[in-house]
Amino acid sequence: MMVTQDYYDALPASVQEHLVCRVVDTLVPVTRRLDIKGLVMGVG
């Protein structure tokens, strides 16, 4: 998960302690290639 610095700074310290994330300047879309055979081939 990625969050911006402003968002991270706005969170309470108790939440920041438990949050596993990357703090970035700008959010970018996460793209993943599907490797599940049925989904790639369109078999239902």
Q: How confident is the model at residue 22 (pLDDT cuts 50, 70, 90)?
A: very high
From CA 22, how far away is CA 8, in angstroms rounded? Answer: 10
What is residue 23's three-state secondary structure? strand
Q: What does the alpha-carbon distance between residue 24 and residue 7 come to, in Å, rounded to a whole number?
A: 10
Domain boundaries, given as residue ranges, for the chain: 1-27
SS3 state of residue 22: strand
Query: How sure is the predictor about 28, in pLDDT bands with cuts at 50, 70 and 90?
Result: confident
What pLDDT, on the 0 to 100 scale, is given for residue 30?
Answer: 77
Q: What pLDDT is recorded for position 8?
A: 96
Higher pLDDT, 17 or 29: 17
CB hemisphere CA count around 34 (13 angstroms): 7
* Whole-prediction pTM: 0.62
Q: How confident is the model at residue 34 (pLDDT cuts 50, 70, 90)?
A: low
